[in-house]
Structure formats: structure tokens, C-alpha cells
Structure 1
Amino acid sequence: MISVERIKPSSPTPHHLRTYNISLLDQLMPCAYVTLVLYFFSDGDDNGNRVQHLKESLSQTLVTFYPFAGVIRDALSADCNDQGLPLYVIKVNAQMRDFLQNPNVELINKFFPGEYGECGRDKLPGPGDSTMLIQLNCFECGGISTSIVFCHSIADLVSISTFLRCWASYARGLEFDHVSPLICAAQSSFPQKPSLPETLVPFNNILKYSSPAKFVTRRYIFDASVLSILKAQLVSSSTGATPSRVDVVTAVIWKCFMEAVAEESAGKDPKPYVMAHAVNMRRRAAPPFLEDSFGNFVWTPVVVCNNPQEKKLTELVWEVKKGVANIDGKFVRRLGSDGLFEFLEGLRKEMPQQAKLLGITSWSNMGLCEVDFGWGKPVWLSGSVADNSESETVGNGNFVTLIDTSDGGIEACAIFDHKYVAEFEKNDHIRKYARVNPSVI
């Protein structure tokens, strides 16, 4: 480690903003840390100057994004008394190009900040913990990977993208280019409900399907040319509509996952399959919320399948799309209605008692690939990966993150129960359409 310090806002946070109350939508998110790493090439040995420049521009950014310079007070609020954002600077004795040519994904967790990294990716934030931590990993070649750890009950990834692009604009000296977020947008539209029962929090009802296992991380690349072919093959016969890249990859992965589980579980009592797909509600509300609205504007609809082997990919992709399309203006309005508890109870009762879960989230089209601190856009993005452990954990297993690639394709970073991986990768759809664990560059 080179250094660790708390970066404070360059101007004090006003007293009337020093308590940040989360919104109802924040309450509905898991109180957990979420991780993101951006990898930047940069030749030369002036990392010291770059790091200092990043510290100064981060301090400017925290004036606007003051909740990230605070700590968690309790389940419903954060103290924004300018305690400062923990920033770790680490020297990596390796060339970034060597790492990206043959990425050992098990090393990614080492890029995360101290108090998070020391406790592992299952650390849960509690009172007194930072709402965000950052680590700058400085490679011998001058490249830097910037890792972000943030509390999900404070913000979603769209908010993090806005934060990063604002920070990058300050780093480039472009004050006019930075986006000022609507910090109180979620609170004003969806005020918190302290009496909300834990049994009605949707994520709690989804996580009941999780079970301990030994998890491994695998990467599957769906190139742009492949996705174009798949999209053409999966056009709706009734409407002529074309599925999106994310729809297509989601359907392929879910189908192959279900078939792998069914093969491994042959002879056992069959369970329904549930796919939970995180959706950004900003664009789906009527009228829509602005993209720079801060906080959580996320819902995770579920799609249920009872007969994966009988379900054609053409059918599955449109069931996935329908599940996402149900999150519309009417749905968003019901979240802000007086009958919220009854609405959530109705959704809870629709969930199967037992099921095999696959979670999917998409980072596509969020602007993360546009972040530029002055030495170019990121060459790769990654999140947390499975711990390299022989012991069984619950964690975030059977979970897939979809990330844009530079050619317009999609990388699916999957954390799977190890016993499903062999069957999953033998599936004809994976063998035909995906590249497994390739070089990043």
C-alpha cells in the first residue's frame, strides 16, 4: 500500500444537508456493498501526479455528491458531516496489459479497498461504515484500475455512473461538462416508510431461493456479429419486433443455466426456475425521471419457468422481454400509492415457495464506458468475483452481470455454483454463440 486517506469535499456540506434520509426505493434495495472496477491504460511513470490530480478532482466532486463523503447512521439515513471518503492507493507489481491478456479473475477482489477487501465481498455495511470507498491500483506501466465500493441502499449503478462522469469531467478541467445530480429526487417522489415490514422487501423474497455452494467466476463474450444474427433469428412472429442485445443474452444464459441445473438435478424433485432481472425505472416512469436522478430507481421483476427443456429460445426471449416491460408508468405509480403494502404483499404471494434462482443485472448503456479522466476511456469493466475458496458460501451466487464490449457485443460475467459450469459450457448455445474466458485485449 502506498497511502490511505479520507478525501473530504472541497467545500463544507451545508448544515441542512448533513442528514441524508434514504427513500422508499432505497429501502427496497439490499443493504449491501456493490463493486465496480474500471481499467485504464496510461503509459509513463507519472502515477504520482495522476493520483494527486484524482484526489483533488474527487474532493471537488464530493461537494455535489456529499452522501458519498459520509457514513451510515442507521437503516434509514446517513451522516453527511464530511467525514470523508476513504481512498486507498496501491502499487501493483505487474503490467496491466499482461493481466488483461490472460485475466485471472480470482485476483480482481484484491483490487478492492482495504476495509472491504479485508472482510471479503460478503461484508455488509452497518452504522459508522462508509457509504463509498475507492482504491486506485497503480500498475508498473502507468495504467490505473479504479475500484469503487458503494452501499446499495444509498445509490444504484446509474447514480454511480453519473458520479464517475462528473469526477472525470472535473479531472479534465471541464466544470461545464459535469452533471449536477438531483440528489433529493427519490426522496421527494418516494418518501421512506419506516414501518415497512422486512417480509415485504422484494429482495428478501428473492434471496430465500439462495443456498450455500462453492461458486466460481466465468466470463462469456457474445460478439456484436453473433448478437446481430441472434436478434434476427428471434424476431417476434406476431409483431415483427426485434429483441435487444440484453434480451437475447439474458434468454440464452437463462435457458442454458436451467438446462444445466436440470441435468445436474436429474432424478430429484423438480423446482420452478426464477430469473430476476434488475431494471432501471427512470425511463419507464410516466413522466420519466431524469437520468441524473440520484438514489435507487431500480426494480427487479421475476420471470418464472417450469419447463425449460420444452421452452424454445424464441419463446423464452419474449417472456423475458414481457417481464421487463411490465415495469411501466402504471407500476411505478403504484409504488408511490397509499396501497403500497397491499401491492407488495400481492407480489410476494405470486412468488413460488421454492425455486432455482438466476439473477441478472445489466451495465449496458449506462455511460460507464465513457468515463475519461484525461488518459482515455476504460479498456475493461469488472465487478466482484467469487472467492477462491473450497468452503461453501451463500454470497451472490448464480448471478450474472452484463457489460458492454468495445465492439458492441456483451460480456457476461457469471458467478455460478461450480457443479453447473461443465454442463452450462457444453450447451450448444454457449458453444455456438459465446467465447469462454478470452483475453480482454
Structure 2
Amino acid sequence: MAEKYDIISKDTIKPSSPTPNHLHHFKLSFLDQLAPSFRVPILLFYSASDVRTFAATDLGALSQKLKTSLSQVLTLYYPFCGRLRDSSIIECNDEGVLFIHSKLPIELSNILKNPQLHTLYELLPCPPYNLEPQQSDTSGIMAVQLNQFKCGGIALGVCFSHKIADASTAASFLNVWAATSRGNGTNNLVPPPMEQTSLLFPPRNISVDMTSGLVGQEKTVTKRLMFSGSSISRLRQTVACPGFNPSRVEAVTTLLWKSSLEAAKESLDSGEEKIVASAVSHTVNIRSRMVPSLSKHSVGNIWQYALSSLVEAEGVVGLRDLAERMRETIGKVDGDYIKKLQSDEFVEVVQTIEEARRVVAEKGIEGYGFTSWVGFEFYEVDFGWGKHKLCYHHCCAHKKFWNFDEHKGWRWHRSMAYLDRT
């Protein structure tokens, strides 16, 4: 971003009511311990017309409304204004959440027409993949940046520590915050299940670096691929057969896997045997897969990696074969798998993940990681001036990583990515 943005204000938002003494130490779960150390970054964009309808030209009042409602919500999500002290404890001492209000001398459309990662990063309150700050005693669990554009549009950037928040947790928090901002208050809100995950998946005495190979290991390139709803419907029909009807996620994920495999084969030197070995992983939200199932508002990293077996691609790769392999891979994360995570057999699960990562890294196997945010209700976030028009989310993974948006799209190549809605 060539233009410099001005910081209008920088505040620390604390909960409107102090956290009770018996809640001052929040235990992370075993699944939180396995989560990467970086932050989950989200950008919500709102048009100038929507913002003016709500706040006219007084964006200072809008900023204050966000701060006040955030303070109220932090009484429910009290660990979010604490500090991570070690691998298993958040000290809930009400140190607060950083809130930055910035003003940029550019039009919002300039960013949306040709989004670039370095530009989007400047709209966030902190570097999402800088691992060092999160290991400091002074690091925050959450931070917010309200970006005000020349046209009157705004972008709300929020970063959550991945040690306590996954996509489902982030979406739930944003919707509760938005409802409070609309004037619903917190009296009618059901407190989110906070300690449930650590009880079901108690912390373990382990040391696993889940960010190894994910961040900062190679040059990152970001690309956006757009699929219309009609194109996805045709793709699903192409892959379908009697007894197998792929979902949108399965169909598009499979197409990207197939395309990546064919590109990998084409990149081989002439004379090399055109066989490419690959494996995929897919993140799986396990809230609904548990018995009994957990609330979608449960706080924590309640997800797992689904790892495929090795696939050797020779000749034409069949879409349907890959789609069935993808469904089989995701299906492995079932009730029995979750019981292993809750028992002493958790060691076996961790070793499997570590071994898969080692093989991909050491043997040059094409590893592809996928994630889906379908159903997480990010597009329902309404602070009182309408639902946002675009949502950008960045992630990373080893080798190549793609992300699917429930409404229209898919994007990326080579580690970093974002999703949007058009």
C-alpha cells in the first residue's frame, strides 16, 4: 500500500465486568495444544452506502459503539482478553484487547479490485503469521483494527490466537459481538461453552510443533480462482454416479487436487517418468461428529486433520476416483477416531500426523492441504449497518492450500489464501 494510513486512536478494551477470581486460569485442551501458534485473521468489508445509513459521517460514533459492545461481549469470552502464559494455560487477568482505529486515504474499491496479501495485512491489527509475539507474556489473545476508507467504506480486521479459536469459534464470537452492537445486549445471550473442550480433551504433557513446514518456509504466492454456482453444479453432476453424490466442497476440492497433480506431472523434466505421488489433508470440524455432539458455539480448536493414504498419479487422473478418496479420507475422522483423541491412544494420532508431515517433507511428495468454511456464518455478521459484502480469510499449509467459500468461490495457490463473496 503506497499511501500511509493514519492512526486515529489506539485503545485497550477491557471487559465491562471484571472476571471472577475462580475463572482467572483457563485451561487449554489437548486439541488447543496441537493447534498452530499463529493467529486466525479475518477481514470484513462494508460498503460506504451501508455505513452512511447507520452512522452518516460520524465514524467516531461507530468506532465507539464497537468498543462498547466489545467490552460487553468480553465478559462472556473472558479468556480473549487474557494472556497465554504457557502451553496449557491462559491467565484471564482482564488485560484487554487492542483496538486500533485507522484512516486510509484510498478508496475501498482499490483494494477489492485487485487484493494483494501485503495490502490486506496492513488492514490487520497484527502480523497473523509472526510466531514470536504469541510466545511473549505480553501478547494478546485477540486484537481488532477498524479501517476507515476515503470513500466512507470500512474494513474490520480481527485476529484471534489459534491457540483458543478455530473458524467456528471466531464466527460465533463475531456474531455475538455484532448482535450486542445492534442493541440486543448480553442479557439474552447464552454464555458460550468455555471449559467444555478442556474437560473432554484434557491437556497433555506433549511438545508438538504443528507450525513446522507451514509458515515462512518458502516464498508464498497467492491466487484467486472463482467458480460460479452453475459451474459448481455442473462439476458435481460430472463427478456424480449412482450411489455417490458429491457435495460442493468435495467436487471443487477434487478438481483442485486433480489440477494440481496434472500441473505437477507437467513440471517434470522431459524423460522423467510421469508418475506423481501425492497425499492430501482436510481439516474437519468434529463438533457434530462427537457423541453427544457439541454446540457450534463451543470455544476452542474442535477440529482435526483428515489424512489420505498415498496416491500415485499415472496417466489421466479420474475426478470421481479422487472424489471418492476425498470422502473416504474425511470419513476417517469418526466417533472411534475421536475416542482415540480422548484416551491414551492420542499418541498414535499425533504420531500419524507427524509421520505424514515428515514423509511429505523428506521424500518430495506433493502434499495438498484443504479447508472449508462452509456453514460458519461469517456472512451473517451484522453490527447494525447490514451484512458485510466480502470476507477475507488467510490460511497457510505445507506445499499448496486451497479454501472454499460457501457462496461462490475458491482461491489460491502455494501456502497463503483468502476467501471472498461476490
- TM bucket (normalised to shorter chain) is 0.7 to 0.9
Aligned to 1:383: 393
Aligned to 1:371: 381
Aligned to 1:169: 179
- Closer/same/farther in 2, CA of residues 82 and 309 from structure 1, 3 Å limit: farther
Aligned to 1:123: 131
- Closer/same/farther in 2, CA of residues 384 and 308 from structure 1, 3 Å limit: farther
- Closer/same/farther in 2, CA of residues 121 and 30 from structure 1, 3 Å limit: closer
CA distance in 2, matches of 1:92, 1:219: 25
Aligned to 1:66: 78
CA distance in 2, matches of 1:23, 1:399: 26
CA distance in 1, matches of 2:146, 2:215: 33
Match of 2:183, SS state, is coil
Q: Equivalent residues in 2 for 1:253-272 (5 A)?
A: 253-266=256-269, 272=277
Q: 2:233 aligns with which of 203, 228, 232?
A: 228
CA distance in 2, matches of 1:137, 1:351: 38
CA distance in 1, matches of 2:8, 2:214: 42
- Closer/same/farther in 2, CA of residues 262 and 369 from structure 1, 3 Å limit: same
1:29 and 2:35 correspond: yes
TM-score (norm 2): 0.87
Q: Does the 8 Å contact 1:8/1:84 carry over to 2?
A: yes
Q: Does the 8 Å contact 1:217/1:385 carry over to 2?
A: no
Q: 2:91 aligns with which of 70, 79, 89?
A: 79
Aligned to 2:222: 217
1:335 CA drift (Å): 0.8
Aligned residues: 399
Q: 2:100 aligns with which of 88, 94, 102?
A: 88
CA-to-partner distance for each residue in 1:212-252, whole Å, 9 max, x for gaps? Answer: 43221111111111111111221134x2x311111111111
Q: 1:283 aligns with which of 272, 284, 288?
A: 288
Q: 1:12 aligns with which of 10, 14, 18?
A: 18
CA-to-partner distance for each residue in 1:253-296, whole Å, 9 max, x for gaps? Answer: 11111222222233668662222211100011122111111101
Q: Does the 8 Å contact 1:285/1:332 carry over to 2?
A: yes
Q: 2:63 aligns with which of 39, 47, 51?
A: 51
- What code does the residue aligned with 1:17 have? L
- Closer/same/farther in 2, CA of residues 249 and 144 from structure 1, 3 Å limit: same
Q: Does the 8 Å contact 1:396/1:415 carry over to 2?
A: no
CA distance in 1, matches of 2:106, 2:45: 14
CA distance in 2, matches of 1:89, 1:4: 6
Match of 1:130, SS state, is coil
- What code does the residue aligned with 2:115 have? P
Q: Equivalent residues in 2 for 1:318-337 (5 A)?
A: 318-337=324-343
Q: Which has the higher contact order (CA 8 A, sep 6+)?
A: 1
Q: Does the 8 Å contact 1:10/1:62 carry over to 2?
A: yes
TM-score (norm 1): 0.83
Moved over 6 A (4+): 437-440
